[in-house]
């Protein structure tokens, strides 16, 4: 199995991504999970990771608490999207334990150094922990097999007209990661807004008869004042794990990608040189298409195997 580190800010779609990775144990080996501030503050995202693992019977996986705030700008959270505790509707009980000792950034560095053949990094939130690890210990760079991240947008943003949430929250960290020179696969809104779980597909989670199924159903059907602006529920972060499992369901292009770091209406905007106008070397494989129906069939099949 491919060894990965999941860096995350749960977040409902983060929870689904983590459960998908756990369910795919024949293909993916989760080395550890690191939490970062994003959808909610880091004390809560850390607790949420443990709640998610408890529910799936994997409380044994190492969990490390990470950065409290972005590198430069103040933290902006998204309780209006994910509820006050980040996992609104999940019905998950409080965490069974505390995080493991050691900061997430130290854990990322140590685990990469210790991995003989390197690790794949799967960031599902703001890129603060990854950027700090790269700056503190550049020797880890060759050990990063690849980075498959959720963030950015080819078209419109979601948290602002211009920017996707993860890029907007810590644009300086995003700039460090985009410039790191390692292979990057970018799952931005250009594809994740095509990975919409329909109401029929969401309803199926309630019939699985499992704790994770009930939790997914609860999170995806809870009332949302104002709605999401989409017909079903986008599976942003789950696309990262799905790409590791079924890359044949996705299509994209190698592009040069930059991110706006200056404060103002463009902050966190990713500029994706889809047509190679800038003649700059590509730094990311930008995914733009997904076979959504098949994706959900396969995802539901795997998630159904969890407790
Ligand atoms: C991203 O923002 C978060 O709220 C989601 O978990 C996802 O990582 C989508 O823009
Ligand atoms: Ca997330």
What confidence tens digit (pLDDT) does each residue in 152-206 have?
999 999 999 999 999 999 999 999 999 999 999 999 999 999 999 888 999 999 9
pLDDT band at residue 223 under the 50/70/90 scheme = confident
Pick the atom of ligand 1 nearest to 164's CA.
10
Which residue do the tokens 């998950």 mark?
Answer: 92
> Ligand 1 within 6 A of 13 CB?
yes
* Element of type H or E holding 147: strand 144-150
DSSP 184-245: EEEE-HHHHTT-EEPHHHHHHHHTS-SHHHHHHHHHHHS--TT--SSSSEE-TTHHHHHHHH
Check pocket membership of 292 for ligand 1, CB cut-off 6 A.
Answer: no
How far does residue 165's CA lie from ligand 1's centre (Å)? 6
Pocket of ligand 1 contains residue 170 by CB under 6 Å: no
| Tokens standing for residue 29 | 């080996």
| pLDDT band at residue 227 under the 50/70/90 scheme | low
CA angle, 290 then 224 then 222, to 5°? 85
The encoded tokens of residue 134 equal: 């790269």
Q: Of ligand 1's atoms, which has the minimum distance to the CA of residue 11?
A: 6
Q: Does residue 128 surpass a pLDDT of 70?
A: yes
Instruction: Say what the ipTM of the complex is.
Output: 0.99
Q: How many CB atoms lie within 10 A of CB 28?
A: 21
Ligand 1 atom nearest 39 alpha carbon: 4
Q: Would the CB of 193 count as within 6 Å of ligand 1? A: no
Neighbours of 136 (CB within 10 A): 13
State yes or no: is 172 an active-site residue.
Answer: no
Q: Which of 124, 163, 268 to mutate to test the pocket of ligand 1 (most atoms within 8 A of CB)?
A: 124
Q: In the chain, count of helices (H) and strands (E)?
A: 12, 12
219 lines ligand 1 (CB under 6 A): no
């Amino acid at each position: 199995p491919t060894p990965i580190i999941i860096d995350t800010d749960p977040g409902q779609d983060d929870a689904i991504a983590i459960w998908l990775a756990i369910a795919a144990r024949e293909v993916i080996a989760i080395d550890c999970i690191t939490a970062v501030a994003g959808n909610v503050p880091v004390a809560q995202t850390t607790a949420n990771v443990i709640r998610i693992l408890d529910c799936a019977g994997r409380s044994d996986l190492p969990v490390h608490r990470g950065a409290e705030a972005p590198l430069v700008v103040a933290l902006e959270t998204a309780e209006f999207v994910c509820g006050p505790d980040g996992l609104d509707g999940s019905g998950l009980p409080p965490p069974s334990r505390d995080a493991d000792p050691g900061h997430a950034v130290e854990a990322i560095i140590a685990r990469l150094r210790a991995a003989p053949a390197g690790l794949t990094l799967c960031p599902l939130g703001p890129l603060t922990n990854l950027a700090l690890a790269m700056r503190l210990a550049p020797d880890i760079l060759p050990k990063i097999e690849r980075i498959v991240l959720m963030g950015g947008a080819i078209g419109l943003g979601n948290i602002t007209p211009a920017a996707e949430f993860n890029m907007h929250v810590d644009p300086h960290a995003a700039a460090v990661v985009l410039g790191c020179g390692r292979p990057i696969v970018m799952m931005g809104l250009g594809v994740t807004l095509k990975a919409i779980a329909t109401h029929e597909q969401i309803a199926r989670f309630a019939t699985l008869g499992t704790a994770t199924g009930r939790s997914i159903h609860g999170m995806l059907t809870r009332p949302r004042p104002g709605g999401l602006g989409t017909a079903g529920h986008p599976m942003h972060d789950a696309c990262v794990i799905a790409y590791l499992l079924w890359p044949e369901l996705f299509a994209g292009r190698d592009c040069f990608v930059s991110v706006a770091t200056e404060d103002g209406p463009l902050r966190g905007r990713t500029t994706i040189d889809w047509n190679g106008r800038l003649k700059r070397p590509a730094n990311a494989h930008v995914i733009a298409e997904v076979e959504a129906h098949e994706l959900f069939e396969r995802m539901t099949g795997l998630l159904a195997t969890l407790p």
